[in-house]
Amino acid sequence: MNTQQILIIHGGTTFDTHEEYIQFLKEMPLDIERLKPRADWKDSLQSDLGDGFEILQPRMPNGTNAEYNEWRIWFEKIMEQVDDDIILIGHSLGGVFLAKYLLENKATKMIKALFLLASPFHDENLDESLGSFRLHVSLERVSEQAEQIYVYHSRDDEVVPFGHAELYHKELPNAQLRTFTDRGHFKVEELPELIEDVKSCCGIS
């Protein structure tokens, strides 16, 4: 089997104005625990999937004060380097970024599968703005560009309410909705369901 590439787009925060960003930096609590490295499912994905897979985890520009257009430019440079039949995984802001990008642009590579994990659909009832990442309503073009789509969300997500997953599922009716009760915002060390779904996408039992 050829090596299957998986590209993960991480989350981040975004603001409507620079002043709001500066205020966020001033008010954001900071303690010693926040300075320690914390492993999550992204760190073990390579070992969990094995040698037949290649995990790509780029750092997107200015993740703390993200701008969609900056991410778009960097993402397009990344896509020049990857193979066809890429699997895309977007977590939180990374998920809404992928949805918006595929809504507004034609991907240069074939997409085997798209995974949206704990992704906000709009910024109503959120504690922060989606700024330039805000979506249009219809996601039909997203469905047209990905062979398979999975929406992952936990009902106890403390950052993005579960209703956002239902909106994605409504706009992407062919997507498979994976519902959890105890994974929060997917800041968990293991996500075995993701391993199973990725392997299933690749025809591996």
In the chain the domains, ranked by start, together with CATH numbers, are: 4-12+39-201 (3.40.50.1820)
pLDDT at 39: 86
Residue 128 pLDDT grade (very low, low, confident, very high; cuts 50, 70, 90):
confident
Residue 100 pLDDT greater than 60, yes or no: yes
pLDDT above 70 covers a percentage of the chain that reads 99
Give residues with Cβ within 8 angstroms of 45, minimum separation 6: 6, 8, 53, 55, 194, 195
Q: What's the length of the chain?
A: 205
The predicted model gives 122-135 an average pLDDT of 88
Residue 70 pLDDT greater than 90, yes or no: yes
Burial of 56 (0-12, 13-18, 19+ CB in 10 A): middle
What does pTM read for this prediction?
0.95
The predicted model gives 118-139 an average pLDDT of 88
Higher pLDDT, 157 or 36: 157
Residue 98 pLDDT greater than 80, yes or no: yes
Mean pLDDT, rounded, of the chain: 94
Structure tokens at 21: 């960003």
Q: Quick one: which of 45, 104, 35 has its CA closest to 69?
A: 104
Residue 63 pLDDT grade (very low, low, confident, very high; cuts 50, 70, 90):
very high
What's the CA gap between 36 and 164, in Å, rounded? 31
Residue 205 pLDDT greater than 80, yes or no: no
Residue 107 pLDDT greater than 90, yes or no: yes
